[in-house]
Structure 1
Amino acid sequence: MVEQIATTHRAPQTWPKEAWYVAASAGELADRPLGRTICGQPMVFFRGAEGQAIALEDFCPHRGAPLSLGFVRDGELVCGYHGLVMGCTGRATSMPGQRVDRFAGVRRFAVIERYGFLWVWPGDFETADPARLHHLEWAESPEWAYGGGYYHIHCDYRLMIDNLMDLTHETYVHSSSIGQKEIDEAPVETLIDGEQVVTRRFMDGIEAPPFWKMALRGAGLPDDQPVDRWQICRFTLPSHVLIEVGVALAGKGGYDAEDRWKASSIVVDFITPETETSHHYFWGMARRFAVADTALTDTIRTGQGTIFGEDLEMLERQQANLLRYPERKLMKLNIDAGGVRSRLMIDRAIAAERRPEVEAAA
């Protein structure tokens, strides 16, 4: 007789589950399994016999050990505790000295490998819809270059969304790289564009800050002339923020200038909840200038990593303060509109997912 050990843990739902999240960069998944908690659910990722990415619940049905501490053999996952072998469907296939046909299985999660990332669907496997994965033109076009990285950050993922949808903080948190007083002075506009929340700001005839002077040089443009600068933040469910940023030599058309007069990029922010107070942050920059210059890609990646590292400290300290003073009410100003509307979109998505459960219980 096989004794089953019940588990009843369920994290509070503060994120949509019926959606695609970045779980890892494709290069992170090689010969060994990768353990990562996504939306409160411990998962283990590994590659099957044909190299396909598989995601299972990170729980061995024998004694509850994390399967991520095991190893991959012939495209199956071997538990590192007692050798139970799990197949790609989440069912046990063998175990030394045991019959496994009556063993309980574990959850399997839908995975798509695309654009250099592994995307996972934390909701039901059967409801996973590949058509709901956002198309990323920059990730497939030779006219773009991309470089990025990863941070594990100890704060609510929504604080990062707030941060990215209000770039006013750049003047203060990033004063030595991308911040400048004109960000404070330029009017900001927030609107809903279809299924996106958009916050945008345009600054004309200004001096480029240090990061953008470097980008201008990389694009073969002078760095000592006035520029027109733009920031267009776009939030889409479940938690992605893509930011069109750039500078063009002043008087050449700004955002609409021809490529030969500007350095334009998309700041890529894939924010994946881990727990209520932590998340996985996959960041990068896709650019449309000097795309063959790999040294420039490395320089931008290093600079961007430093910039986001400055955000990390601020956000983690902010989270600690919010936990320390849960009774305090926060202010909502006009500059917060992008984050506020993004949170409303998240809340509506969660409510829509829970509606069938509420109706069934009524």
Structure 2
Amino acid sequence: MFLKNAWYVACMPDELSGKPLGRKICGQAMVIYRTESKGVAALEDFCPHRGAPLSLGFVRGDTLVCGYHGLEMGCEGKTLAMPCQRVNGFPAIRSFPVIERYGFIWVWPGDPGQADPAKLYRLDWAEDPGWAYGGGLYHIKCDYRLMIDNLMDLTHETYVHADSIGQKEIDEAAPKTSASGDTVITSRFMDNISAPPFWRLALRGNGLADDVPVDRWQICRFTPPSHVMIEVGVAHAGNGGYEAPADKKAASIVVDFITPETETSIWYFWGMARNFKPDDAELTKTIREGQGKIFSEDLEMLERQQANLQAWPERALLKLNIDAGGVLSRRVIDRLLEQEGGRSQAQAERPRAKEGA
């Protein structure tokens, strides 16, 4: 259903303000917490004593203390101590590889032996002072692939987001989709049109006129396990569109990290990175609020879509040319799931082969 051997965004750093965080990722209940000297750690959210959620406990130094009976856990999942009890022989619980980078906490829910930091998705703009970022988090009750479909086909903007980023010209501009390796790209370019409300706001934010014709672009990039980055923007018409100089456009990257919770629910980390007026905190706040409203409009549609699919599982979904981005993205996921399943089976069989030798 979802890839396990991959880095997923688990939370944002400010979610670990003083106490452990319980979060289910790829079907696995985890407790994520910040220690005094060892950084961020992630364990199964299961106390080996009586099965209580460790996320209801607290952190003392580098130790996670169960909030039920005071059992103390180390960052590697080993039981360390418990008041007046001998617990050193308790079996260890599972720990998960964790990385804090680019303003996010990432976890690897699969085989820890394959958790290579080099496989982390690169966000070069996150370490560039010339860029600003604002974002948020939504919990949505839908299959993570429905959100990928949504982001790889922006035709729905005309209808779901009619008052913010939608306009009829999106319908009229045919998307182009291609795939290269594990990356799928769908793009739309619209020339000499009026900017919709959200983009008029962005133009004003960059000190540009908002009442003149613009060229608009949307370039959606899917990469496994479930990331979608979308280059979006508008430029005053006749200045090169996507290639226009910085003083003639307002452009940004829509950041979408989709972390499966279960087969029918996700943690959706959304945001926008921009490279104009990065020091303008008020502009960052305004754009964040506007984008947050836009993404909230998708929430009901996706949850109701999921409910329909569960109610009528026998109904086949129809495909049009606008669906190519989502279709190809699902093919990438299916191929990698098959490879991951094959590797897991091979790993499971190796010990048996050795024993029979």
Shift of 1:16: 0.6
Question: For 2:242, which of 238, 255, 259 is the aligned residue?
Answer: 255
> What is aligned with 1:208?
195
Is 1:317 paired with 2:304? Answer: yes
CA contact (8 A) 2:37 2:61 kept: no
Secondary structure of the residue aligned to 1:172 is helix
> What is aligned with 1:302?
289
Shift of 1:51: 5.1
Is 1:42 paired with 2:56? Answer: no
Q: Please give the residue correspondences for 1:35-114 in structure 2 after superposition, counting only pairs within 5 Å.
A: 35-50=22-37, 52-114=39-101
Return 5+ residue gaps in structure 2 as ranges. none
Question: For 2:120, which of 133, 152, 160 is the aligned residue?
Answer: 133
CA contact (8 A) 2:221 2:229 kept: yes
Give the whole-Å Cα distance in 1 for the aligned partners of 2:102 and 2:278: 17
Give the whole-Å Cα distance in 2 for the aligned partners of 1:261 and 1:195: 33
> What is aligned with 2:212?
225
Task: Report the residue type matching 2:31 in the other structure.
Answer: V
TM-score, normalization by structure 2: 0.96
Task: Report the residue type matching 2:151 in the other structure.
Answer: L
CA contact (8 A) 2:235 2:244 kept: yes
Listed one character per residue, the Cα deviations across residues 101-124 of structure 1 (whole Å, up to 9, x for unaligned) are 110110010000000100000012
Is 1:159 paired with 2:146? Answer: yes
Identity %: 68
Give the whole-Å Cα distance in 2 for the aligned partners of 1:76 and 1:101: 15
> What is aligned with 1:238?
225
Task: Report the residue type matching 1:52 in the other structure.
Answer: G
> Which stretches of structure 1, 4 residues or more, deviate above 6 A after TM superposition?
none
Shift of 1:49: 2.6
Listed one character per residue, the Cα deviations across residues 42-99 of structure 1 (whole Å, up to 9, x for unaligned) are 0001112315000001001111111001111122111111111101110000011211
Is 1:290 paired with 2:277? Answer: yes
More moved, 351-360 vs 158-167: 351-360
TM-score, normalization by structure 1: 0.95
CA contact (8 A) 2:37 2:62 kept: yes
Give the whole-Å Cα distance in 2 for the aligned partners of 1:175 and 1:356: 46
Task: Report the residue type matching 1:283 in the other structure.
Answer: W
Give the whole-Å Cα distance in 2 for the aligned partners of 1:78 and 1:101: 15
Give the whole-Å Cα distance in 2 for the aligned partners of 1:293 and 1:49: 33
Question: For 1:345, which of 316, 332, 335 is the aligned residue?
Answer: 332
Question: For 1:181, which of 168, 172, 178 is the aligned residue?
Answer: 168
Secondary structure of the residue aligned to 1:267 is strand
Give the whole-Å Cα distance in 1 for the aligned partners of 2:94 and 2:38: 20
CA contact (8 A) 2:3 2:336 kept: yes
Secondary structure of the residue aligned to 1:108 is coil
Secondary structure of the residue aligned to 1:248 is strand
Shift of 1:171: 0.1
> What is aligned with 2:178?
191
> What is aligned with 1:272?
259
Shift of 1:174: 0.1
> What is aligned with 2:155?
168
Secondary structure of the residue aligned to 1:183 is helix
Secondary structure of the residue aligned to 1:355 is helix
CA-atom RMSD, angstroms?
A: 1.1
Give the whole-Å Cα distance in 2 for the aligned partners of 1:81 and 1:151: 30
Give the whole-Å Cα distance in 2 for the aligned partners of 1:132 and 1:96: 41
Give the whole-Å Cα distance in 2 for the aligned partners of 1:358 and 1:295: 52
> What is aligned with 2:132?
145
CA contact (8 A) 2:23 2:30 kept: yes
Task: Report the residue type matching 1:207 in the other structure.
Answer: S
Give the whole-Å Cα distance in 1 for the aligned partners of 2:88 and 2:206: 62
Question: For 1:123, which of 107, 110, 114 is the aligned residue?
Answer: 110
More moved, 283-292 vs 351-360: 351-360
Return 5+ residue gaps in structure 1 as ranges. 1-13
> What is aligned with 2:10?
23
CA contact (8 A) 2:182 2:223 kept: yes
